[in-house]
């Protein structure tokens, strides 16, 4: 298994979003959902429309899912909600449909297809380095940490044993000085 990297540069993130949106709303949503929730690709591919939308077709604030016999929640921010609503309305998806449904079947896309989508988008815009589906999860963690989210919260989110495991996972060395942006934006 190859280790992939977080996308640290916001310009690169925006370039991938622009590239994906140009070719596929589903793939754009996959990327936006991944970098804003930090879910594993296997967790994302199981999502059905009714898991993230209310009966009145508004986006839920939290996506609830089962993980190791416990219920977990992940916050859906405005960028996720906007991409989600646009995608579902444009494609007239039914509540029971998988959110990331294959174009060929009623099943979700595979992990391998998701990898190809993210990897090819990164290559197409000229990102060098190892980029894959886990890059979305690492990108979420890296930018959350930079914005002042405590490493202990990220450790819990990623189900890691120690804070140092989480820092290593995110590609942050103990010596690395990161300017934290704590902004309550009241």
Structure confidence by residue, pLDDT tens digits, 166-186: 999 999 987 887 777 777 768
pLDDT at 186: 81
Q: Report the C-alpha gap between 40 and 46 in whole angstroms.
A: 10
Give the pair of three-digit tokens for residue 136.
Answer: 């979305």
pLDDT on residue 168: 94
User: What is the per-residue pLDDT for 1?
Assistant: 54
- Residue 31 in contact with residue 136, Cβ under 8 Å? yes
- Over residues 30-54, the pLDDT tens digits come to 999 999 999 999 999 999 999 999 9
Return the axis-axis angle of helices 133-146 and 151-158, rounded to nearest 10°.
160
| Rounded Cα distance, 75 and 92, in Å | 24
What is the arithmetic mean of pLDDT over 4-32? 97
Question: Are the C-beta atoms of 43 and 65 separated by less than 8 Å?
Answer: yes
pTM above 0.95, yes or no: no
Distance CA 106, CA 112 (A): 17
User: pLDDT class for 157, splitting at 50, 70, 90?
Assistant: very high
């Amino acid at each position: 298994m190859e280790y992939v990297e977080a996308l640290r540069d916001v310009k690169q993130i925006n370039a991938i979003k622009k590239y994906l949106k140009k070719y596929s709303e589903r793939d754009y949503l996959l990327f936006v959902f991944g970098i804003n929730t930090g879910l594993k690709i296997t967790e994302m591919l199981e999502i059905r429309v009714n898991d993230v939308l209310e009966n009145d077709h508004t986006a839920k604030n939290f996506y609830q899912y089962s993980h190791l016999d416990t219920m977990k929640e992940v916050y859906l921010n405005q960028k996720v909600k906007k991409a989600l609503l646009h995608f579902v309305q444009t494609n007239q998806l039914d509540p029971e449909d998988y959110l990331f449904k294959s174009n060929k079947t009623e099943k979700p896309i595979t992990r391998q297809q998701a990898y190809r989508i993210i990897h090819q988008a990164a290559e197409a815009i000229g990102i060098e380095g190892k980029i894959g589906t886990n890059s979305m999860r690492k990108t979420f963690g890296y930018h959350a940490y930079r914005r002042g989210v405590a490493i202990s919260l990220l450790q819990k989110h990623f189900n890691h044993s120690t804070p140092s495991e989480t820092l290593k996972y995110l590609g942050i060395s103990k010596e690395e000085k990161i300017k934290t942006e704590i902004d309550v934006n009241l």
